Amino acid sequence: MSDAPRVGVVTFPGSLDDVDAQRAVRLSDATPVRLWHADDDLQNVDAVILPGGFSYGDYLRCGAIARFTTIMDAVVDAAKGGLPVLGICNGFQVLCEAHLLPGALVRNDHQQFICRDQKLRIENAETAWTRQFSQGEEIIIPLKNGEGGYIADEATLDRLEAEQRVVFRYLDGNPNGSRRDIAGIANEAGNVVGLMPHPEHAVEMGYGPDTAGGTRTGIDGQRIFTSALQALVGV
């Protein structure tokens, strides 16, 4: 599989779900490439994932210190050049701090850490990371965060809606006070996507959320990863 797409997964000090993200990449028939926060080279990867966790202990603000690492300089440059970049949870926070995505994530309005299976609607099935879904499709993947409230000013929210850049929206209850039930957004070009819930925890039978089909059968997260690869291998 030497010609399999190579997907970089960045590990910051305090990253938690980097190995799960690598596994999700492997299960989608791509080759995961470990990228270290202090690297300055993306090793010619075809896409990059910023995983969940607590980079730098969430000190200062979630993602604020990770944003200024050398690997992020490379990620920001590559993202502006069109490289598919996915930020999951803490990775979403890093993308916002890096200004690759607008807005910010703040502490959940109810002040509790929340961990549950979360229903989402795919609001834009044309981004690099959602093109294997259908528009309006409903999926369930795990959510776990303490600072997942998405906020931006009204003008930014209006622009995101108008430009179809809200990619994922919470269904059956807003878990954290996110404005307009926003669970994930994209940049203007659609190559950079950030979301709070965790698709990498719903990629293999026996480990994902419960569904009507049985206990831990949910694998709705898988297509997030294969979506990016579909473009890379030119299917």
Partner 1 sequence: MGRVVVDVMPKPEILDPQGKAIAGALPRLGFKNFINVRQGKRFELEVDGDVTEAVIAEVRDAAIKLLSNPVIEDVVSVRNATVEEATNV
The smaller minimum CB distance to partner 1, of residues 86 and 96, is found at 96
Report the site for partner 1 in 101-120 (rule: CB under 8 A).
Answer: 102-104, 106-111
**64 binds partner 1 per the rule CB under 8 A:** yes
**180 binds partner 1 per the rule CB under 8 A:** no
Minimum distance from residue 106 beta carbon to partner 1 (Å) = 6
Q: Smallest Cα–Cα separation from 167: which of 220, 131, 116, 208?
A: 131
Q: Smallest Cα–Cα separation from 143: which of 180, 186, 174?
A: 174
Minimum distance from residue 100 beta carbon to partner 1 (Å) = 13
Q: Is position 89 annotated as part of the catalytic site?
A: yes
Q: Quick one: tokens of 113?
A: 């850490």
Minimum distance from residue 177 beta carbon to partner 1 (Å) = 7
Q: DSSP states of 174-213 as a string?
A: -SS--GGGEEEEE-TTSSEEEESS-GGGSSSTTTS--BTT
The smaller minimum CB distance to partner 1, of residues 55 and 108, is found at 108
Please give the distance of CA 183 from its chain centroid, rounded to a whole number: 10
DSSP 8-state symbol, 133: S
Q: Is position 200 annotated as part of the catalytic site?
A: yes
The smaller minimum CB distance to partner 1, of residues 16 and 64, is found at 64
Q: Is position 62 annotated as part of the catalytic site?
A: no
Q: Quick one: tokens of 215?
A: 């206990």
Which of 62, 89, 96, 147 is catalytic? The answer is: 89
The only residue of 33, 74, 78, 152 in contact with partner 1, by rule CB under 8 A: 152
Given the rule CB under 8 A, which of 20-28, 32-40, 97-105, 160-168 is the region that contacts partner 1? 97-105
Q: Are 53 and 29 in contact (CB under 8 A)?
A: no
What is the rounded CA–CA span in Å between residue 29 and residue 119? 26
**157 binds partner 1 per the rule CB under 8 A:** no
Q: Quick one: three-class SS letters along 67-131? A: HHCHHHHHHHHHHHCCCCEEEECHHHHHHHHCCCCCCEEECCCCCCCEEEEEEEEECCCCCCCCC
Number of residues that bind partner 1 (CB under 8 A): 20
The residues of the shown chain that bind partner 1, judged by CB under 8 A, are 60-61, 64, 68, 96-97, 102-104, 106-111, 149, 151-153, 177
Catalytic residue list = 89, 198, 200
